[in-house]
Amino acid sequence: MLKKRRRRRRQRKFKGIVKQLGPNDFRILGLPRFHWGDFYHWLLTIDWWQLGLLIVGVYLATNTLFAFAYLADENGIANARPGVFIDAFSFSVQTMATIGYGAMYPNSLYAHILVTIEVFLGLIGVAMITGLIFARFSLPTARVLFSRVAIISPFNDVPTLMFRVANERNNFILESQIRVSILLSQEETKEGHKIRRLYDLKLVRSETPVFNFSWMVMHQIDENSPLYGMTRESLEELEPVIIVTLNGMDDTVAQTIHTRYIYSIEQIVWNARFVNVMT
């Protein structure tokens, strides 16, 4: 019976991590969803409202615990009503924030020890929260707009896969580089192994010194392309996923930024063209 309970606990703990890649969901088994070694990374990636609730919750919980600790000594806080929680809680808030109104102050060795511990924890907490919020604000981000669809149509009499990207900010992305890969459905090797193969697509232009407006990304479907000779029907059977990654240096903050986008088979349009965006 005990072994079954332990097995159930392990199964609940290792339900797996789900990662989405285009229309496909990949479940990674054998890994916990959360690891304490990634706690800082988790704090950087949760939503702002979640972080705010976490900070407020820890703040209230810490002051509540110290308030109960102060209540253990009825005469530990001068000018506080004995056994009144709100007075002890208010004193804890003033102590943690090092406000020091002077109306209430520690009146015993026990209270002095608690004040020393709480002030130390308060200083550490303020420093950590300040650093965390600054780290979140200073994270470099890219505002790059990708076209909703990718097209396959002739360009200079060569079938070409094309999509468009644009810089949404009023600045420059220097030394920009773009990489396009395509993930095709399972292939079977001569030994009978089934794998999903990722192919890099050679681009007409994969980098630009200055990216400030729009960029037409093109891959010519010639003899060296993994898409050579494919029709709309044969490509749909392979369930392709086109993975696009772009990186460069933001000239405003002088830091490297990156972004990504994924095109599924439903977003590939044949025999179409993009309208001109510059006149």
Which pLDDT does position 116 carry in this prediction? 95
Domains along the sequence of the chain with CATH = 46-137 (1.10.287.70), 144-270 (2.60.40.1400)
Measured from the Cβ of residue 30, the count of other Cβ atoms closer than 10 Å reads 7
pLDDT at 11 over 50: no
What is the predicted pLDDT for the residue at 14? 45
Least confident of 110-124, 155-169, 185-199: 185-199
> What's the pLDDT at 239?
83
Residues 6+ apart with CB under 8 A from 255: 140, 249
Is residue 9 helix, strand or coil?
A: helix
17-21 and 24-28 beta bridge pairing: antiparallel
Nearest to 165 by CA among 181, 149, 153, 152: 149
Integer Cα distance of 197 and 138 in angstroms: 37
Residue 73, strand partner residues? none
What does each C-alpha distance from 190 to 101, 195, 238 come to in angstroms?
A: 80, 12, 19
pLDDT band at 138 (very low <50, low <70, confident <90, very high): confident
Extended beta strands in 37-97, E state: 77-78
- Please, what's the largest Cα pairwise distance for the chain? 91
pTM tops 0.75, yes or no: no
Say how far apart CA 76 and CA 108 lie, in whole Å: 5
The mean predicted confidence, pLDDT, of the chain is 86
pLDDT in tens, 55-68: 999 999 999 999 99
Query: Is 180 in contact with 200 (CB distance < 8 Å)?
Result: yes
For residues 244 and 22, give the distance between their C-alpha atoms in angstroms, rounded to a whole number. 11
Q: Which long-range contacts (CB under 8 A, 24 or more apart) does 181-184 make?
A: 181/242, 181/243, 182/226, 182/227, 182/240, 182/241, 182/242, 182/243, 183/21, 183/22, 183/240, 183/241, 183/242, 183/243, 184/226, 184/238, 184/239, 184/240
Q: Higher confidence at residue 244 or residue 190?
A: 244
User: Exposure of 189 by Cβ count < 10 A (0-12 exposed, 13-18 middle, 19+ buried)?
Assistant: exposed
Q: Identify the CA nearest to 52 among candidates 42, 41, 43.
A: 43
Confidence band (pLDDT; 50, 70, 90) for 13? very low
pLDDT reported for residue 102: 81
pLDDT-based confidence at 254, cuts 50/70/90? confident
